[in-house]
Chain A
Amino acid sequence: MEFKFEIEGGNFSKAGSASSEVKKILKQLNVNPKIIKRTVVSLYEAEVNVVAHAFEGNMNVDIDTDKIVVKIEDRGPGIPDIDQAMQEGYSTATPQVREMGFGAGMGLPNIKRNSDKMNITSKVDVGTELEIINYFG
């Protein structure tokens, strides 16, 4: 089963809506609640990253009998140093974004903790591609 959601850069009022749709689908499919919880945390963080840093993006969801594979691609500034971005507490978010309680440098580490596999590739001034895989078994 494949689903595609658009993510609007800068629009915080919609942040989380794609993750919420995926959550509903996983619930309907009776996926183990623990795996739904983990997936929801990682997808929300990925979605917020696009909203906070990129111009626009997509969340492509592929649900199989044994796993969910989600690719989040964005058009944006990219990440120059992924190892640095993966460090807890490191963030390039603007002061306005931080005031809202985002940009604490916990997003990518949260994704890593809540996914079975995580692959991230990025090109500066082009965009970032993040793949999250969670197994149902």
Chain B
Amino acid sequence: MKTVVVGISDMKVSNNTKEILITYSLGSCLGVVLYDPVAHVAGLLHSMLPLSKIDPLKAKTSPWMFVDTAVPLLFKEAYKLGAEKKRIIVKAVGCSSLLDEQGFFKIGERNFTVLRKLLWKNNILIEKQDIGGNHSRTVSIAVGSGRVILKAKGEENEL
């Protein structure tokens, strides 16, 4: 098995069944996992901020940084490898926050809201999610099986 690391503000799609896509240290960042179980196409996205309008120039060079520019591109890249919208399974993780009751740093919450709006507009459901809290998360997907493993609070579980 070959492990492919998805960095911060980064994305990878794959149809190589010998690969595992993984991303580490999701804080308030959003992790989106896609899988088409028929075409065996997987995608993993690690986005940092909700909306590209705060830095359009950055969005051009680094579209994966922003949820609103990254998610449509993630789907397009998966389609290129043969994935089909009707079969795609979506899982979402991350979007933690500090102990911030006043919501000064509610970037995680905003990231998730933008994702939900985008998917809702396109009639796509989130099959599973592990969102919020104050901890960091690591998530991986095995391209061959579509198995998603979530590591958080010192535990490893299938999502």
Q: Do A and B come from one complex?
A: no
A-side residues, CB < 8 A to B, are none
B-side residues, CB < 8 A to A, are none
